[in-house]
Structure 1
Amino acid sequence: MRKAYIVTVALFALVFSLASASDPDPLQDFCVALKDYSDYSKSAVLGILFKDPKLVKAEYFFFEGLNIAGNTDNKVGSNITTMNVDTLPSLNTLGISLARIDFAPYGENPPHTHPRGTEILVVLEGTLFIGFVTSNPDNRLFTKTLNKGDVFVFPVGLIHFQLNVGKTNAIAISGLSSQNASVITIADAVFRSNPPINPNVLTKAFQLDKNVVEELQKEFGVEK
């Protein structure tokens, strides 16, 4: 009996932990995040100050610029224009955000993860080779080549990537199930951390020569 009780409690704990992993449901029509505290609502929701609804205007729900191509003149050949709660405050508590991803020919959105949101990607122009990797111990790789109009889903928290395999520019729109899904670019997090990760740690983790690790840290801009 006690064993069954423990298992039941453990299952409830798992369900509630999964349920709390995404943005909470809104408790009102909208909750525009504050940039200026001179006109805040005196009613805080979940401890968050938000703009007085009586002072909210249509423009607080408006964003422009996703029609403008991003500058892909960089080492990876891609650029991301983000529309989240930081750039559109009315997304606060709504659990959704958007991004435009521009790719130069053979440009890449390097392996990364969104710890707080599932991503759905639609290709507007070009051809992308995309994929994601499942968690330990399987580390199973799912890949697909997407053409204009194709859609693919990247589950929350899993490492994924996109690579332009065409000779022309490519464009994709990404929707995320969080007002700020955040992003952890794997190579940056490992080789550009501040302060730097001890090279001995990375040497063992990646089974590389220490000189290679230190060279990679220099390449990513880490200063000793």
Structure 2
Amino acid sequence: MQSTVTATDFFFLGLSVHPLSPRTSVGVVNRPHLHQRAMEVFFFFDGSVEIDFLPVTISKAEVFVFPRGLVHYKRNGGEAPAAAVSELDSQLFHIELVGQALCFRNRRWLTESEVLEEMKLGLGTMHG
């Protein structure tokens, strides 16, 4: 029986995947960030990487999904370089760094005391 399904049957206007191919050296940290407009799927090929704010380490041939809007980071805490492909499900995925989101207001960087006040923390909490 001949199939009548073609590639055009799977075309969705506006739906795309934006690939990123990070190769990280030992000790390199991808700073905490989030994607307000995209979900990220992290395909891991070689080495090991610590991800998210949970004590999770992914290794060769594993996959991790970061839901849209979840603050996350990646750190190569292994003994060898790591290789992965990160896919985002939007052409306008926007990377928002957490430091900028927490510490930048009205076109200027906040002082340490302003950040602590914003987060309702005391100096002992941050430096203690």
TM band (smaller chain): 0.7 to 0.9
Output one character per residue of 1:28-64: Cα deviation in whole Å (capped at 9) or x when no partner.
xxxxxxxxxxxxxxxxxxxxxxxxxxxxxxxxxxxxx
In the alignment, which residue of structure 2 is the partner of 1:174?
86
Separation in 2, partners of 1:107, 1:174: 16
Relative to the length of structure 1, the TM-score reads 0.44
Higher relative contact order (CA 8 A, sep 6+): 2
In the alignment, which residue of structure 1 is the partner of 2:72?
160
Separation in 1, partners of 2:110, 2:76: 34
| Higher Rg of the two aligned structures | 1
**2:24 maps to which of 103, 107, 116:** 103
In the alignment, which residue of structure 2 is the partner of 1:56?
none
Q: Which amino acid aligns with 1:151?
A: V
Percent identity (aligned): 27
In structure 2, the CA distance between the partners of 1:193 and 1:102, relative to structure 1 (3 Å rule), is: farther
Partner of 1:129, secondary structure, is strand
| 1:203 to 2:124 alignment | no
In structure 2, the CA distance between the partners of 1:192 and 1:107, relative to structure 1 (3 Å rule), is: farther
Gaps of 5+ in 1: 1-24, 27-92, 133-141, 213-224
Alignment of 1:139-158 (within 5 A): 142-158=54-70
Partner of 1:204, secondary structure, is helix
Partner of 1:105, secondary structure, is coil
**Which structure features the higher share of strand residues?**
2
**Which structure features the higher share of helix residues?**
1
In the alignment, which residue of structure 1 is the partner of 2:7?
none
Separation in 1, partners of 2:29, 2:110: 28
Q: Which amino acid aligns with 2:99?
A: A
Partner of 1:189, secondary structure, is helix
Superposition CA RMSD, Å: 2.3
In structure 2, the CA distance between the partners of 1:149 and 1:194, relative to structure 1 (3 Å rule), is: farther
Output one character per residue of 1:46-99: Cα deviation in whole Å (capped at 9) or x when no partner.
xxxxxxxxxxxxxxxxxxxxxxxxxxxxxxxxxxxxxxxxxxxxxxx2332111
Contact map agreement 1:190 1:197 (CA 8 A) in 2:
no
| 1:128 to 2:49 alignment | yes
Contact map agreement 1:113 1:157 (CA 8 A) in 2:
yes
In structure 2, the CA distance between the partners of 1:192 and 1:169, relative to structure 1 (3 Å rule), is: farther
Separation in 2, partners of 1:156, 1:169: 27
Query: How far is the alpha carbon of 1:161 from its aligned partner?
Result: 1.2
* Residue correspondences, number: 111
In the alignment, which residue of structure 2 is the partner of 1:80?
none
In the alignment, which residue of structure 2 is the partner of 1:184?
96
Relative to the length of structure 2, the TM-score reads 0.74
Contact map agreement 1:127 1:148 (CA 8 A) in 2:
yes
Alignment of 1:7-46 (within 5 A): 25-26=12-13
Separation in 2, partners of 1:114, 1:97: 12
